[in-house]
Structure 1
Amino acid sequence: MIKNIFQSRKLSGLCVLSILLVSVTILLLTNDTIDLFPYLSLPYLPRSSLSVIPTSTPISSPTNDSSPPLESPVNQTRVDDHPDDQGLELDWLKDDKQWNVSLKIDWKRCESPDYIPCLDNTKAIKKLKSKRNMEHRERHCPERSPKCLVPLPQHYKVPLPWPQSRDMIWYDNVPHPKLVEYKKDQNWVRKSGPFFVFPGGGTQFKDGVIHYINFIQKTLPILDWGKKVRVVLDVGCGVASFGGTLLDKNVITMSFAPKDEHEAQIQFALERGIPATLAVIGTQKLPFPDNAYDVIHCARCRVHWHGYGGRPLLELNRVLRPGGFFVWSATPVYQHDEGHRNVWKTMESLTTSMCWKVVARTRFTKVGFVIYQKPDSDSCYESRKNKDPPLCIEEETKKNSSWYTPLLTCLPKLPVSPIGKWPSGWPERLTETPVSLFREQRSEESFREDSKLWSGVMSNIYLYSLAINWTRIHNVMDMNAGYGGFAAALINKPLWVMNVIPVEGEDTLSTIFDRGLIGIYHDWCESFNTYPRSYDLLHSSFLFTNLSQRCDLMEVVVEIDRILRPGGYLAVQDTVEMLKKLNPILLSLRWSTNLYRGKFLVGLKSSWRP
């Protein structure tokens, strides 16, 4: 009898236990808030021409890799609470053999840690007939983009955070000591132990860059940094102390200089966390739209404005906003020997022919500059007795015409009001309808919808739901920026965004500048004009699907790997099919990847090099 009681109790216990197990299983399967698959990445659909290896097998870096360990987020695939997307994702997860797979690619290292394919094409540069007008500093891309990975400098370290990086950077990250010696009397940069330190001096900043900037506004109060003036172009920028200091005044500056002029000055600027790009005023237009910048600045920038038939100054005129200002800080302004007087007279003649007027001039040796103002209407052009330079015909100034296009020898007609009027003050201009969209009702509606969309997506997804550590983000690039909605939604974050407009798409770059943001034209089938390890985050929204029709996806990913710093992020929104193609390539680079809702892929670059 006692035995029967024990057997009965045993059966009852088993029944209760079974019921509990079934209940827990049902709960797990039906509760969308519980992540059942916390370590999954996108699968790869095998193609016959490519072999795959599972990334579940640990892959160690080469023993000679001296780069520091970088923290990585957990690879994770989130199950969306939207039924359509959830079903699609769960279909991917049925066959565990396709989880976490990578292309087997025999990656090679590039020769130089500072390799820039379109600026380091020595074969093409040697074939140039002339270098008189800086042709050798312009873009000369190889026929096929290289598929090598740029090595890290020896002892490379995680960059210092902003704003500390503005004043000092690791020497090992940009090991170019020649600039210290070359500019030792001008207080540009000095070496202090393991750091480069930037005291805020410059060729024309004898009393420091802060004093220089304040003196410019004191001389011409209408400039009103950070209110009337928001977007500035700094030509021949040195180590970009001018642009870096203006950030404190809510002014964003596009600093540019040629590669290797004064050795890696743009690399210093980007490592400091200051917006900058590699460019030169040679024989081709700068990759910016017409009428873009509020102010253009040149402090001993070594550009012969009157040379090459005056084309360099005509190029400044093209990108300067109607009514905008050119601050020229140079010795011909205040030196009185014959050579300097001749340069001044030539400059005076050229600016007069362009209808620029002098609105301020100082002749102090420490801070000597002249400020010109561009006209805001065509009336002066039409009243000139000598129509030289002539007005451009419409074909010469059409939209999207700044990519591989010769410099103008004419004056573009100025846009009529309201398109040609000065934007509202900052920060109002960020959210108001850009002046470049007037007369285009459809574009105005698209702009408003775009702004609303990005505001929601940023707060609901990018900032809090993706595996991105925003405290480490400062240098950001939006690879296809549209109206600049991504950048606008991040405006209160301590970072800046380079808004890229692909040359094959709709030209919205003028809208971006009207909003008080900066940007540039580019073709992503080619290499970008920047040093390796320049950015903390690259973002794209349905870019790769369009690129795949013209470009080799592998080459684009290699370029992204070149631009990103170790520990940097790639955030991609694209189609399911494109994410399936993209993820295996990233995994082959030993990146960590994370999928959110089957639509957003985040890749974290490691310090691994082949």
Structure 2
Amino acid sequence: MAMGKYSRVDGRKSSKWCSTVTIVVFVGFCLVGVWMLMSSSSGVAAPNSDVSAQEPKEVKQKVVEKFSKPYEDISGDLPEDTGKEEHPESSQDGSTSNVEDSQNLLENVEGKNESEEDSKREAETDEDAKSEDNKSNSGDRESNSEGGESNSGDGDSNSSGEDKRMSETETSTNEQQESEDSPSESTSNPDGGESKTDVDSSVEEDQSKDQASNEGFPAGAQSEILKETTADSGAWSTQAAESQSEKESQKSPLSKDQNGYKWKLCNVTAGPDYIPCLDNVQVIKKLPSTNHYEHRERHCPDEAPTCLVPLPEGYKQPVRWPRSREQIWYSNVPHTKLADVKGHQNWVKVSGDHLTFPGGGTQFKHGALHYIDFIQKSLSKIAWGNRTRVILDVGCGVASFGGYLFDRDVLAMSLAPKDEHEAQVQFALERGIPAISAVMGTKRLPFPSKVFDVVHCARCRVPWHIEGGKLLLELNRVLRPGGYFVWSATPVYQKLPEDVGIWKAMSELTKSMCWELLVVNNDKLNQVGVAIYRKPMSNQCYEKREQNEPPLCKEDDDPDAVWNVQLQACMHKVPVGASDRGKQLPKPWPLRLGKPPYWLTSSQVGVYGKAAPEDFTADYEHWQRVVSTSYLNGLGIDWSSVRNVMDMRAVYGGFAAALRDLKVWVMNVVTIDSPDTLPLIYERGLFGIYHDWCESFSTYPRSYDLVHADHVFSNLKKRCKLEAVIAEVDRILRPEGKLIVQDSVETIAEVEKMAKSLQWKIRLTYSNDSEGLLCVQKTLWRPTEAEAIFSAIA
């Protein structure tokens, strides 16, 4: 046949018969060629088409395979380090993908073996299809696998190829279905994954069977598929993952776009100063009375908001402590009314683009430090920073008193009502001074009984003497036996008729409460006076009273039950048992910080299951290690920029205790559904508050530089919406502020996803078995779309 072909090319002469034979042979040869092409198309081209069509499916199957065993060795499925580069858009270390993987562990176990079967079968087919073109590349499979590994992170370079394969996939659905339905022949290891040795041996065995009819097929074809799979896998999802995402979307109150959660700005009357539980305008309008400051108490909306509070125009990074005690940016708290009203008393003044705080107050125009020393001289036993460590400052104004008490190593819990004087608590927090928005109204304060060493009131405008002394009796509840009440007000030193009447009423009331008036002294510089009372340390005086007024509380009345509990005009007895809390004064500061209090006995079981004193000590040592080895050095936080710190779940206050040597203060929160350890926190010379994180905290937006959440969110998910809690964290956290989360890997993954949707910076993620650590940083980003919160619109 070759001669017949070349006879025409050579131009040789032939007879008519030869020409006819030549034509017939040529036509026959053409028919044979057409038949061979058709046979080749069905026998070779189809497998190639099938492989290309199945490549996108292989990508999906491999993702399922990876997700199904996040912490196991997957070298039999992918090159050793492939998982590290599959998702370049993920967080800064490999632990984040592991966190996400754990959520899909159970869902994808069944699909794993089927996926591995398809991978092996497609690898074999690909070897057959590419033998003639790749014969020179038939090196061992392992070296090619390493080549695949080196390219596994380069997903972008193959994007055009991905699009081409996707179009090929659309034309090859039937071939995919046939491949999916084929029976599995792979050998699985005990963990459900196919081992590398089994894969290689089975491929080589099948290769040898087909070698007679498919000579020259490259041994490295399987690694080529793996290389493409790992390069493309970041762009693909699985049906299980898509279904799970849709289920989560249906559960969430927020609409979601392709980038995650879709957040909106809060459209409210309070604007950038919105506090959901204190700005519920619709409830406040319907209050039957405001005579007892009911309109300043907490009235939380039925559903916690999931919107984000806007920033004030021109917001800047806060001035750092200690300079912030004297000046803050006006643009951060753009209110001047208080400067107009109280400027002459050296509360606050406007100075260019700053608000300045000369350190004065209504009772200490010439500075808080002079006033603090005046109190010490009036009663030396107060002993600031030694016997007296934690105080309550009622009606704090801009909290200069508490701000300068830091110089005496004293913590002041300052409180004042929202808006009574414009933004006074917000000024305090912006200055780096602890404060909360609260009022002495109709409910107990959110503090345990018998915890404050001193309660201070300087012109706090609280009518202590009315209604049977109900408000003063609340101070008696929170003041520890032997503690002091420091009262600096006009009835102490002025002789106007109204002042004289109030002084007389207070004298009768305090005497009936068995408070001892220790000293009345006048400050000539500030032209004010102070009266200092002491609460009794025994019940003898109560038992000797001629009249039971104010009455003693009932025996079953728990003085530590405070969450939404109404005030009562009664007194609780002083503890009498030798091991009862309040029977003795705590040890002097700072000895009280690291030692278990006397009333914590070995017969009690601690929060973590050990004997209470041992539990306390173990917790203290634990946080010392964590803070010194990880938090201070391992998170990349500039701690000189951190002043106001919130611990959302404080337990024993170990985290706050570990930060003692830093220039920070920590608001320790004990949640209402956790063991009541707040009295112990106060006993060791720290302070805190009860709270329910399903509601907003009583503070202004942008109050804290750092929020610490140790196993908070996983517990909260059982009671309330995590999106609302994260929105609340966003509200109280300053831009550039940090959130540190320790929790289960599943919860860490959820929080990280929401943080990314908020445009927060992911500073660190780490996981170990089922536990994870996350550190994120809030940014200045705010959404553009707004959501009206009708409960907060006047």
TM-score, with normalisation over the residues of structure 2?
Answer: 0.65
Secondary structure of residue in 1 paired with 2:429 = helix
Of residues 760, 763, 766, the one that matches 1:596 is 766
Q: Is residue 543 of structure 2 the alignment partner of residue 386 of structure 1?
A: no
Residue 495 of structure 1 aligns with an amino acid whose one-letter code is V
Q: CA 1:37 to 1:499, structure 2 compared with 1: closer, same or farther past 3 Å?
A: closer
Residue 781 of structure 2 aligns with an amino acid whose one-letter code is W
Larger radius of gyration: 2
Q: Is residue 480 of structure 2 the alignment partner of residue 321 of structure 1?
A: yes
Distance 2:232 2:589 in 1: 52
1:52 — aligned with what?
none
Deviation at 1:595, TM superposition (A): 0.2
Residue 500 of structure 1 aligns with an amino acid whose one-letter code is V
Q: CA 1:27 to 1:349, structure 2 compared with 1: closer, same or farther past 3 Å?
A: same
Of residues 18, 32, 42, the one that matches 2:96 is 42
Query: Any idea what the Cα deviations from partners look like across 1:276-296, whole Å, max 9, x if unmatched?
Result: 111100000000000010001
Q: Is residue 234 of structure 2 the alignment partner of residue 105 of structure 1?
A: no
Deviation at 1:306, TM superposition (A): 1.1
Deviation at 1:309, TM superposition (A): 2.6
Return 205-214 or 554-563, whichever deviates more: 205-214
Deviation at 1:330, TM superposition (A): 0.2
Deviation at 1:103, TM superposition (A): 1.6
1:258 — aligned with what?
417
Residue 108 of structure 1 aligns with an amino acid whose one-letter code is L
1:51 — aligned with what?
none
Secondary structure of residue in 2 paired with 1:437 = coil
Distance 2:664 2:232 in 1: 41
Residue 390 of structure 1 aligns with an amino acid whose one-letter code is P
Deviation at 1:363, TM superposition (A): 4.1
Query: Any idea what the Cα deviations from partners look like across 1:398-420, whole Å, max 9, x if unmatched?
Result: 54x11111112211121233432
Of residues 291, 302, 305, the one that matches 2:450 is 291
Q: Is the 8 A contact 2:464 2:506 kept in 1?
A: yes
Deviation at 1:438, TM superposition (A): 4.0
Q: How does 1:455-604 map to 2 (within 5 A)?
A: 455-593=624-762, 594-598=764-768, 599-604=772-777
2:564 — aligned with what?
404
2:780 — aligned with what?
607
Q: Is the 8 A contact 2:493 2:528 kept in 1?
A: no
Q: Is the 8 A contact 1:501 1:508 kept in 2?
A: yes
1:187 — aligned with what?
346
Secondary structure of residue in 1 paired with 2:345 = coil
2:117 — aligned with what?
none
Q: Is the 8 A contact 1:330 1:369 kept in 2?
A: yes
Residue 421 of structure 1 aligns with an amino acid whose one-letter code is Q
Q: CA 1:463 to 1:364, structure 2 compared with 1: closer, same or farther past 3 Å?
A: closer
Of residues 424, 427, 433, the one that matches 2:587 is 424
Of residues 404, 412, 418, the one that matches 1:245 is 404
Of residues 534, 548, 567, the one that matches 1:373 is 534
Unaligned runs of 5+ in 1: 1-25, 48-55, 58-92
Deviation at 1:469, TM superposition (A): 2.5
Q: CA 1:439 to 1:380, structure 2 compared with 1: closer, same or farther past 3 Å?
A: farther
Distance 2:425 2:598 in 1: 32
Q: Is the 8 A contact 2:514 2:542 kept in 1?
A: yes
Secondary structure of residue in 1 paired with 2:700 = coil
Residue 260 of structure 1 aligns with an amino acid whose one-letter code is D
Deviation at 1:475, TM superposition (A): 0.3
Q: Is the 8 A contact 1:133 1:308 kept in 2?
A: no
Distance 1:479 1:38 in 2: 26
2:9 — aligned with what?
none
Secondary structure of residue in 2 paired with 1:218 = helix
Deviation at 1:319, TM superposition (A): 0.4
Residue 238 of structure 1 aligns with an amino acid whose one-letter code is G
Q: Is the 8 A contact 2:643 2:665 kept in 1?
A: yes
Secondary structure of residue in 2 paired with 1:232 = strand
1:152 — aligned with what?
311
* Structure showing greater relative contact order (alpha-carbon pairs closer than 8 Å, 6 or more residues apart): 1
Q: CA 1:440 to 1:294, structure 2 compared with 1: closer, same or farther past 3 Å?
A: farther
Distance 1:490 1:186 in 2: 35
Q: Is the 8 A contact 2:263 2:758 kept in 1?
A: no
Query: Any idea what the Cα deviations from partners look like across 1:301-353, whole Å, max 9, x if unmatched?
Result: 01000123311100000000110000000000111122111101110111011
Q: CA 1:548 to 1:290, structure 2 compared with 1: closer, same or farther past 3 Å?
A: same
- Compare the two structures and name the one with the higher helix fraction: 2
Distance 2:549 2:273 in 1: 43
Secondary structure of residue in 1 paired with 2:575 = coil
Secondary structure of residue in 2 paired with 1:410 = coil
Residue 523 of structure 1 aligns with an amino acid whose one-letter code is D
Q: How does 1:17-416 map to 2 (within 5 A)?
A: 38=92, 42-43=96-97, 96-97=234-235, 102-111=259-268, 112-364=271-523, 366-397=527-558, 399=560, 401-416=561-576
Deviation at 1:380, TM superposition (A): 1.2
Aligned-residue Cα RMSD (Å) equals 2.6
Query: Any idea what the Cα deviations from partners look like across 1:459-480, whole Å, max 9, x if unmatched?
Result: 1221111242322111000000
Query: Any idea what the Cα deviations from partners look like across 1:377-401, whole Å, max 9, x if unmatched?
Result: 11111111111112212332254x1
1:70 — aligned with what?
none
Query: Any idea what the Cα deviations from partners look like across 1:207-257, whole Å, max 9, x if unmatched?
Result: 321111101101100111001100011000011000000001100111110
Distance 2:766 2:683 in 1: 33
Distance 2:711 2:291 in 1: 41
Q: Is the 8 A contact 2:263 2:308 kept in 1?
A: no
Q: CA 1:286 to 1:98, structure 2 compared with 1: closer, same or farther past 3 Å?
A: farther
Secondary structure of residue in 1 paired with 2:707 = strand
Distance 2:362 2:419 in 1: 18
Q: CA 1:501 to 1:128, structure 2 compared with 1: closer, same or farther past 3 Å?
A: same
Q: Is the 8 A contact 1:212 1:367 kept in 2?
A: no
Secondary structure of residue in 1 paired with 2:550 = coil
Distance 2:667 2:91 in 1: 35
Secondary structure of residue in 2 paired with 1:180 = helix
Q: Is the 8 A contact 2:385 2:589 kept in 1?
A: yes
Deviation at 1:95, TM superposition (A): 5.8
Distance 1:322 1:129 in 2: 37
Q: Is the 8 A contact 2:448 2:559 kept in 1?
A: no
Residue 738 of structure 2 aligns with an amino acid whose one-letter code is Y
Q: Is the 8 A contact 1:502 1:522 kept in 2?
A: yes
Distance 1:110 1:595 in 2: 34
Distance 1:349 1:375 in 2: 16
**Aligned residue pair count:** 538
Distance 1:496 1:192 in 2: 27
Distance 2:436 2:700 in 1: 9
Deviation at 1:37, TM superposition (A): 8.1
Q: Is the 8 A contact 2:391 2:455 kept in 1?
A: yes
Deviation at 1:148, TM superposition (A): 1.1
Q: Is the 8 A contact 1:231 1:253 kept in 2?
A: yes
Query: Any idea what the Cα deviations from partners look like across 1:59-88, whole Å, max 9, x if unmatched?
Result: xxxxxxxxxxxxxxxxxxxxxxxxxxxxxx
Identity among equivalent pairs (%): 52
Q: CA 1:443 to 1:547, structure 2 compared with 1: closer, same or farther past 3 Å?
A: same
